[in-house]
Amino acid sequence: MSKKALFFVFLLIIVMGIFGWIRTQHEASSREGKSVSLTCFDLAKVKIISIHGNDKSVEFKEETPLRWIASSAYGYEADLSKINQFLLKVRELKSSQRVTSNKERYEQLGLGQKKITLSLKDSAGTVLFAMDFGKTREASSERYYGDTGRYVRVLPGEDVYLLGENIPIETDSQNWLKKEILSLERKNLSEIHLLKTEPLLTIVNTSKDGEKFELKGWDSAKEKENTSAVEQVLGVFSSLSFANVFEPGDAKLSQLKFIPLITILTKDGLSYQFDGVDDKGQFFLKISVSVNKDPEIKPAEDTQTRAQTLNQNFSKWIYQLESWDALKFSKKHADMVEKLPGKEEAAPQTPQPPAEPAEPSANDANENPADEPPVQADAMKTINPGPEVTTPESAEEKAGYPSPSEESPDKTQSLTAPAEIST
C-alpha cells in the first residue's frame, strides 16, 4: 500500500473518531440536567381520566379517594394501584429533546390519525392537562439522538418531544379493572359442595386451624381421594379473578342458561352459590350470597348485613373466567377420586339369545343319513337303471333270515351300480 493510501486511511480514522466523540457528547448533554417538565397540573384536582384511541376509549371517575370506577366498563371498579401509578408517571413526564413543530411530520411520528389522546379533568369536566401520544422509537433507529422513548405533543401546543421512556397507554377498559372477584380465607371455609359430582362429594374442613380438609361421599372400598384435585378447588377461592366482566343484561349473554356448580359454607355464617355455563369454550360465572341456615353454625352479628352487601354487588355482574380457573368449577366425580387397583368395575355384558335351529332345506332330504358314510364320487354318477326287475324271494328270506345286504351294510356300500339290463 502506498504512503498516500495510508495517509487517507489514517485521516478517515481520525474523522470517524471525532464524529463519534461529538455524538457521545451530544447524547451526554441531552441527559445532563437539560430535561424540561412537560406537565403542569395539580394532581389532587384530577377526578376524571379520559383516554381516546383510534378504535377504543376508556374513562375513569373518582368516587372516593380510594375508589375509581370505569364508566366505560359498566361502572366496574378500577384497579386503584394502576390509576395512582399512571397519574404519578404522567405528572413526572420530562423530555430533553424537542423534535419538531412541523405539522406535516405529525403523521410520520404517530401523532396523526393513530394518536392516543390523554385528558385529565377536574370534577366539573374542565381539562387540566392534555397530551397526544405517538409511536415509540427504538434507540438509534432514526437520525435523532437519544434513548428509546415515545413521541408526544402537549396540547394545545405544536411542539413534538421525545420522552426518555415509553409509557404504555391502554385503551381497553378491561386492562384497568380490579380483576380479583373474591378472596376467601382458607381457615374460614366450612364445607364446599361440588354439585356436578354424582354421587355428591363435599370438601369438609376437619380442623380448627383450617389446614386440614377431607373429601366426603366417596366409596373407600373402591376409591381413594385425589388430594391434588381437592387442593385445586380450595386454591381457586383464595384468589379468584376474572378475564372479562359483563352486565347481566348484555345481549351476548341473554340466552345463556346457568346451572349450579358449587356451594360454599363459611364458618362466619355465609353461603356462596356459584352458577356457571360453558358457551363455546368461554366460561361465565354468576355469584350469589346469603346467610347460611345451618343451625350448627352461629353467624356473626354483621352476617346479615354483609350478605346483603355482597349479594348486591355480585348481582350486577357476570364474570368470564380464564380456562384454567373454569376447569376447577366443573369437577366431576371421576376428577376428585381415583379407582383403587383391581377395583375397576367390569362392563356389563349383554346376554345373547340362544341360536334357533335351522329349518331343513329341500336339499337335506336327498342327503345321506348321518350314520351312513358318504357315497364315493364314482357312485354318484347318473345311471340309467332300465326297466324294473322283480326277483323272487330266496329260501332264506322266506324263512325269516336277513338278507346279505342287511347283514353287512358296509359291503353293500362298496358295490358298484348294477350293470344295465338289456330287454
**Amino acid type, 390:** T
pLDDT-derived band at 178, boundaries 50, 70, 90: very high
pLDDT-derived band at 414, boundaries 50, 70, 90: very low
Query: Of 154, 176, 198, which one is at a domain's C-terminal end?
Result: 176
Q: Residue 326 above 60 pLDDT?
A: yes
Between the alpha carbon of residue 190 and those of residues 183, 263, 266, the distances in Å are 15, 11, 5
Q: Residue 362 above 70 pLDDT?
A: no
Same domain, 195 and 294: yes
Which pLDDT score is estimated for 347? 53
Same domain, 150 and 265: no
Taking the C-alpha atoms of residue 381 and residue 86, their distance in angstroms, rounded to an integer, is 110
Taking the C-alpha atoms of residue 386 and residue 390, their distance in angstroms, rounded to an integer, is 12
Which pLDDT score is estimated for 31? 44
229 or 344: which leads in pLDDT: 229
C-alpha closest to that of 284 among 229, 232, 242, 332: 242
Q: Residue 320 above 70 pLDDT?
A: yes
Alpha helices in 131-270 (DSSP H): 227-236
User: What percent of the chain lies above the pLDDT cut of 70?
Assistant: 71
Lowest mean pLDDT among 121-135, 270-284, 354-368, 377-391: 377-391
Which pLDDT score is estimated for 135? 92
Q: Residue 229 above 80 pLDDT?
A: yes
Q: Residue 206 above 80 pLDDT?
A: yes
Q: Residue 334 above 80 pLDDT?
A: yes
Same domain, 166 and 40: yes
Is cis: bond before 199, omega within 30 of 0? yes
Same domain, 262 and 163: no
Lowest mean pLDDT among 149-158, 269-278, 389-398: 389-398
Lowest mean pLDDT among 14-18, 211-215, 388-392: 388-392
Same domain, 187 and 275: yes
Q: Let me know if residue 234 belongs to a domain.
A: yes
Q: Residue 147 above 90 pLDDT?
A: no
Between the alpha carbon of residue 218 and those of residues 12, 135, 168, 338, the distances in Å are 85, 60, 52, 10
Q: What is the mean pLDDT of residues 178-189?
A: 94
Same domain, 79 and 191: no
Same domain, 75 and 195: no
Strands 240-241 and 282-291: what pairing?
Answer: unpaired
pLDDT-derived band at 12, boundaries 50, 70, 90: confident
Q: Let me know if residue 305 belongs to a domain.
A: yes
Same domain, 263 and 216: yes
Same domain, 172 and 184: no
pLDDT-derived band at 23, boundaries 50, 70, 90: low
Q: Residue 39 above 70 pLDDT?
A: yes
Same domain, 117 and 188: no
pLDDT-derived band at 29, boundaries 50, 70, 90: very low
Which range marks the domain in which residue 315 is found? 180-339
Same domain, 132 and 190: no
Same domain, 311 and 203: yes
Q: Let me know if residue 84 belongs to a domain.
A: yes
Query: Of 309, 339, 369, which one is at a domain's C-terminal end?
Result: 339
Q: What is the mean pLDDT of residues 242-254?
A: 91
pLDDT-derived band at 139, boundaries 50, 70, 90: low
Q: Residue 418 above 50 pLDDT?
A: no
For the chain, how many structural domains are there in total?
2
